[in-house]
Amino acid sequence: MPRFPIHMPQLGESMAEATVREILITSGDTVSADQNIFEVETDKAMMEVTTPCSGEISEIVAEVGTSYAVGSPLAYIEATEEEASKAGLVKPDETPEQTAESGAGSEEEGVHFKVDDENMIDTSTPSEEDHSVKPTVGGTLPVPIRSSVYLSPRMRHRMEELGLNSADLAGLPGSGAGGRVTVEDFEKFISELEEHRMTDASPMRIAVADSMRRSWTRPLATVTVPIIMDEVLAHRKSLDPKPGVTLYAMRALAIALSENTAVAGRLIGNRIVHPNAIDIGFAVEVDDGVLVPVIRDVEQKSLEQLQAPYEELVRNGQDRKLAPETTGGGIATVTNVGPFGITDASPIPLPEQNLVLGLMAGRKTPIWDPEQNEFLPKVESNFILSFDHRILDGGAAGRLLQRIGQLLQNPFEL
């Protein structure tokens, strides 16, 4: 029987590569169509690679812990002509042998960050022949950022060889004129790294770092407004099941943004681009990072309608099983750090968003009640809004938070 390559599939719209985390089959195994054979990790989720058809696994070329670009061969399967045709593995004008031959490639094809184990960091002088680390360009790799500090072309070339950018050199003192970091400073820095314990950063950690670097290229500002949460807590207590406090904040934010979409817009050139939909994301903590699933059209759905999809997204996010259509495209994010006891923070909005709303831990606070003419204990939580200062100023940001606070005082209307 002819054999066919099983390629790394395009598991997400923005996916460029994925890291193999577990191999679920061995050579010689008989498999059925759509059987899970690899578990891979992208920058957003854990996903499975399945077989295109039934047959026998003749060879496995993928290695655990190695990243492969979309389209790279991971394994080979022997299948009958009938099974291969059903799966679309054979083109109408080709024989199975021609298809299998054209799909064969080197084990190294598409490998990202393939590093020689005996020489993890190359400390030799630059040369065209000796490059231990060969990074490739892909959607999940860090985007190089130009530093405000001058770096010579030779220095930039050397950094590109190692897959580094200027942010990786933060805090490195330079011995050159005006404190410039020289190639000699850089090589000494790289050499000294070998004296430290090092571990590989996960794809998610790299993606988060890249996202934060891109976010920080904008002028960001933060404002804080304390909001009384007693009404929300009382309303939540009366329901079964109980909605998360994050969901109340998402709903209030969506209503406030629908009343003035410009504050969630993006400045492109000399125009503000308003969002077409009020899609709100929320942060879900996972191992070594944060995922941001998105609920669509939040302003059009009641709190009750949002609860089931919200809880499902939380579970899927924690399991790293988010579907591609449930991520990306949001106009703002809500992050609740209150459970960690945090009372003050400066959240950073995603690069493609203008706003992030942070919920802090609630605390009992004496609040003056003019009707009873006395201080009463209330649960107060700081709501912190970080935003792109090119779009929003402090006054507008404060009014947005005040509006959110007003809406939260009537939770039964959310």
Which of 27-31, 130-134, 230-234, 278-282 bottoms out in mean pLDDT, i.e. has the lowest?
Answer: 130-134
Task: Write the pLDDT tens digit of every residue in 218-228.
Answer: 999 999 999 99
Residue 120 has pLDDT above 50, yes or no: no
* DSSP-assigned beta bridge partners for residue 284: 291
Residue 250 has pLDDT above 80, yes or no: yes
* Amino acid at site 28: G
The reported pLDDT for the residue numbered 157 is: 81
Q: Would you state the structure tokens that stand for residue 386, as one six-digit string?
A: 């970080």
Which phi and psi angles does 358 have, rounded to 5°?
A: -105, 130
Read off the pLDDT of each residue in 52-59 and give the average, rounded to a whole number: 92
Greatest mean pLDDT among 86-90, 166-170, 272-276 lies in 272-276
Residue 242 has pLDDT above 80, yes or no: yes
The reported pLDDT for the residue numbered 161 is: 82
Residue 123 has pLDDT above 70, yes or no: no
Residue 194 has pLDDT above 50, yes or no: yes
The reported pLDDT for the residue numbered 119 is: 38
Task: Say if residue 184 is exposed, middle or buried (CB neighbours under 10 Å; 0-12, 13-18, 19+).
Answer: exposed
DSSP 132-158: S------TTSPPP---SS---HHHHHH
**Start-to-end C-alpha separation, the chain:** 62
Residue 125 has pLDDT above 50, yes or no: no
Of 74, 73, 16, the residue nearest 44 (C-alpha): 16
400 to 336, 340, 385, 395: CA distances (angstroms): 18, 25, 9, 9
The reported pLDDT for the residue numbered 185 is: 85
The reported pLDDT for the residue numbered 178 is: 64
Residue 401 has pLDDT above 70, yes or no: yes
DSSP 259-274: H-GGGG-EEETTEEE-
Of 19, 13, 10, the residue nearest 206 (C-alpha): 19
Read off the pLDDT of each residue in 280-292 and give the average, rounded to a whole number: 89
CA distance 289 to 140: 14
Query: Percent of the chain having pLDDT more than 70?
Result: 83
100, 87 Cβ separation under 8 angstroms: no
Give the CATH class of 3-112.
mainly beta
The reported pLDDT for the residue numbered 216 is: 86
Residue 25 has pLDDT above 50, yes or no: yes
The larger pLDDT score, comparing residue 385 to residue 102, is at 385
The reported pLDDT for the residue numbered 206 is: 82
pTM: 0.65
Task: Write the pLDDT tens digit of every residue in 297-356.
Answer: 999 999 999 999 999 999 999 988 888 889 888 999 999 999 999 999 999 999 989 999
The larger pLDDT score, comparing residue 183 to residue 167, is at 183
219-413 CATH choice from 3.30.70.1140, 3.30.565.10, 3.30.559.10, 3.40.640.10: 3.30.559.10
Residue 257 has pLDDT above 90, yes or no: yes
Task: Write the pLDDT tens digit of every residue in 150-162.
Answer: 567 777 888 888 8
CA distance 86 to 54: 10
Greatest mean pLDDT among 115-119, 170-174, 403-407 lies in 403-407
Residue 137 has pLDDT above 80, yes or no: no
Query: Percent of the chain having pLDDT more than 90?
Result: 46
CA distance 287 to 392: 33
The reported pLDDT for the residue numbered 162 is: 82
Q: How many CB atoms lie within 10 A of CB 56?
A: 15
141, 170 Cβ separation under 8 angstroms: no
What value, to the nearest 5°, has the Cα angle with vertex 317 and ends 248 and 261? 45
The reported pLDDT for the residue numbered 91 is: 62
DSSP 155-206: HHHHHHHTT--GGGGTT----SGGGPPPHHHHHHHHHHHTTS---PPPHHHH
What confidence category does residue 60 fall into, taking pLDDT thresholds of 50, 70 and 90?
Answer: very high
Q: Where are the domains of the chain?
A: 3-112, 117-205, 219-413
What confidence category does residue 145 fall into, taking pLDDT thresholds of 50, 70 and 90?
Answer: very low
Read off the pLDDT of each residue in 252-272 and give the average, rounded to a whole number: 91
Which of 52-56, 72-76, 112-116, 382-386 bottoms out in mean pLDDT, i.e. has the lowest?
Answer: 112-116
